[in-house]
Amino acid sequence: MATVGGSSGPDVVRGVQERAARALPAERVTRAGGWWLRYAPGCSWWAGAVLPHGGVGPGGLVGRVTEVEESYSGWGATVRFQISPGACPDGLDSALAERGYRREGLMSLQGAPTGRVLEGAGACPVEVRVRDRPTEAWFRAWWAVHGIGDRRSEWEMLARVGRPSAFACVVDGDEVVAVGRAVADAGWAGVFGMATLPRARGKGVARGVLGALAGWAAGQGADRMYLQVERGNGPALGLYGRAGFREMCAYHYRVAVG
């Protein structure tokens, strides 16, 4: 049985990343032999990346990639592949490189037992409020830190999430200063949207948000948690490491150029 954190098998990685895709639901998803072709106009670009999970059939990699490119061309969208070792067909990464796809977005998929995250969070120095849907104040705080797409499209994406969700926030005075969200899905809870306003950093509020989300996850029967973080984000990696998260796999993206 694969472990949570450390070395995890390809089936576990594939299943977790598909949970993440459901927690960041695209406007349209087309299936092609197990591959997820996601169209998410106006949203953060990773919500529209291809999940190349499954076999490729008689036409081989080139035929399947060409099919993907035609679909995205029809949508007027840039093709991005999420490349995870073991979860994608052998040779896909090198085949995309030969076609001129640029490598970017070095990421870490991390997991932890929910109980360990609760222990790692410890006592929170502030009150954390948890609701089952986002408020305008929650969204405003998240947008202030991470907003790069279209505000309305990002809000509509949250409304498409079909799994139980939690939206946690820390309020200082009349302002939400830290937020995060979690989505429960078949025994796992994914952590997304962690954001802290600059004036509230270094005070333990992100740790409090993470602990509150872990408490909610436990109440949902999710005994494992996961998250995705940029490998170059030292402060976030430190926070998650102290909470008990460990890398399940490293992954990256291949993006069509031109």
Q: What's the alpha-carbon Rg for the chain, to the nearest Å?
A: 18
> The pTM is what?
0.94
Where residue 54 falls among pLDDT bands split at 50, 70, 90? confident
Q: Return the pLDDT at 1.
A: 31
The answer to whether domain 112-246 has CATH 3.40.630.30 is yes
What is the three-class DSSP state of 168?
A: strand
Average confidence (pLDDT) over 219-237: 97
- Closest to 43 in 3D by CA, of 96, 80, 87, 84: 80
Residue 2 has pLDDT above 50, yes or no: no
Token pair, residue 251, equals 């992954």
The answer for residues whose C-beta is within 8 angstroms of residue 111's C-beta and 6 or more apart is 4, 5, 8, 16, 224, 225, 226, 245, 246, 248
- 3-state secondary structure at position 109: strand
